[in-house]
Amino acid sequence: MNSADGAELLFLPLGGTGEIGMNLNLYGLGRWDGRHEDVDWLMVDFGITFADGWPPGTDVILPDPAFIEKRRDRLLGLVLTHAHEDHLGAVPYLWQRLGCPIYATPFTRAFLARKLADNGIVNEVPVHEVPLGGRFDIGPFDLELITLTHSIPEPNAVAIRTSAGTVLHTGDWKLDPDPVVGEASDEAALSALGDEGVLAIVCDSTNALAEGHSGSEAALKENLTDLIGACEGRVAVGCFATNVARLQTISEAARANGRDVALVGRSLWRVQAAARETGYLADVPAFVPAEDAGAIPDDKLVLICTGSQGESRAALSRIAQGDHPHVTLGAGDTVIFSSKIIPGNEVTIGRLHNDLVALGVKVIDENDALVHVSGHPNREELVAMYQHVRPAISVPVHGERRHLEAHAALARTCQVNKALVIENGALVRLGPGEADDASVIDHVPSGRLAWDGNRAIPIDGEMIRVRTRALFHGSAVVTIALDGKRGLAGEPQVTTAGVLEDDETEGVIGRIRDAVWRTIDGLGAKALGDDAAVREAVRIAVRRSFRDQLDKRPVTTVHLVRI
């Protein structure tokens, strides 16, 4: 389809816009008028975020792909910009709902393969490897990868050329002249694309409020070397598992101080294996397994640990709770948090810090020393990107509302004709036409799923609602036996969870049993013959009794048997 046929270029985020993480972006080419649609779709990234204690009982949150799942016959492919969990983590969980081919560079492919293998579907998913800087077609979309820098190998912007205009989707990026691992950003390719003409840029907004430059990974090594050199006991460094450059930086800083390096956390081993397979970390000596760390003197050891964001099941939290099978920390030891505090994680990270301090551990984070440089562009780098690309339209993504607004305001100062601040579910018509014509033309359902056990469930569904009510109000189960139409055959049985202290049980339960007797005695013969009516009447009476006695409304279930 070409622009003469009236093809529209559409952009639709279903995750990662108005929030940080859980990216799911769709580009459409065709016609959409609200009643009729004839659109081919391309997906860019499919990520997750991690639960912060809600919903209860879940660890992983995913974007709901229901919109594109219904159109899977027109979904031509999924392009992964890089290997961070918030950009590819949903693939092992939800790919079978989509069934489309996947395109990724070598490191991202190797990393994804290990995750697919863990889920037993590595042989089902068609993953096409694309070289760095590669150009390829997916249906009517002409795609080119442009190498950028980030906190992981092989981050790519994607130039999407269509009959209705060209879009640059940046993914996560920064401008680092010395990234330690991988290639520097291909600024020449960005400028060449700008010379060719760019209709729109869809761009990372994470650090849009931060002035200056995000800093170079190479500058961090000297400071970490000095910090580790000043420590006497064990040193643990918490960082994002996928930050391969940081693994190399920490390793070199440790070796400079005569220390061996152990990896503590399964995801770290997965990442370093993918890195070595694709040619990274070639000069870094083999890491020590966590189970062998105890054989190394404390002052000769650095531990690289998962869990810098306070994740409850990650290595640092388990160590802080004294629950790790191989690693302990105590007085005289130091933990360095070599990572950014992601907005929303302040409480869990603070709790982790407190737990470590209670063990006598010294904690160092970004507020105390230069222990981290961001993988996202500060304002100075955003300006440089706009100078290279010179788009007519800016669509800020990957940020909360405050980040998006700040990014849009900055884009306008860079002579961008139109900057659109949108959120998940907003369907944007980018072209063809003048930049001022770009606008939100529709809104589609978007939402979140929670991974519960081995399935994805709606985060606003009945299961989560009941579980949340039970978390705050407890639960009660009432069992009653009815003898024909004469009423109760015996004493109602009442059990509770999370509602009563031991010394309250007898009095409260006694009054609830009285309420059940009164309710059954008050039902007429017709109602007594209707099981559903009996159960509902008893449920209401029990909840009312709990409310009157305790001002609580436990989730209440009534079991009824007839004898």
With tokens 């040193």, the residue in question is 235
Q: What is the pLDDT of residues 495-506, one digit of tens each?
A: 999 898 877 788
Q: What is the average per-residue pLDDT within 396-403?
A: 96
Helix intervals (H) in 155-216: 187-196
With tokens 């070639």, the residue in question is 282
Q: What is the pLDDT of residues 342-387, one digit of tens each?
A: 777 888 899 999 999 999 999 999 989 999 999 999 999 999 999 9
Q: What is the pLDDT of residue 470?
A: 78
User: What is the token pair recorded at 32?
Assistant: 């959409």
Does the pLDDT at position 159 exceed 50?
Answer: yes
Q: Do 249 and 228 touch, CB atoms closer than 8 A? A: no
Residues 418, 395: Cα–Cα separation, whole Å: 9
Residues 12, 20: Cα–Cα separation, whole Å: 16
Does the pLDDT at position 5 exceed 80?
Answer: no
pTM comes to 0.87
Q: Which residues contact 522 (CB under 8 A, 6 or more apart)?
A: none
Q: What is the pLDDT of residues 204-230, one digit of tens each?
A: 999 999 999 999 888 899 999 999 999
Q: Which residues contact 435 (CB under 8 A, 6 or more apart)?
A: 199, 392, 393, 417, 418
Q: Which residues contact 526 (CB under 8 A, 6 or more apart)?
A: none
Residues 522, 118: Cα–Cα separation, whole Å: 58
Domains and CATH numbers, the chain: 3-212+374-458 (3.60.15.10), 217-364 (3.40.50.10710), 474-562 (3.10.20.580)
Cα angle 224-227-231, degrees, rounded to a multiple of 5: 135
Residues 81, 87: Cα–Cα separation, whole Å: 7
Residues in the chain: 563
Per-residue pLDDT band for 1 (boundaries 50, 70, 90) equals very low
Per-residue pLDDT band for 260 (boundaries 50, 70, 90) equals very high
Q: What is the average per-residue pLDDT within 280-304?
A: 96
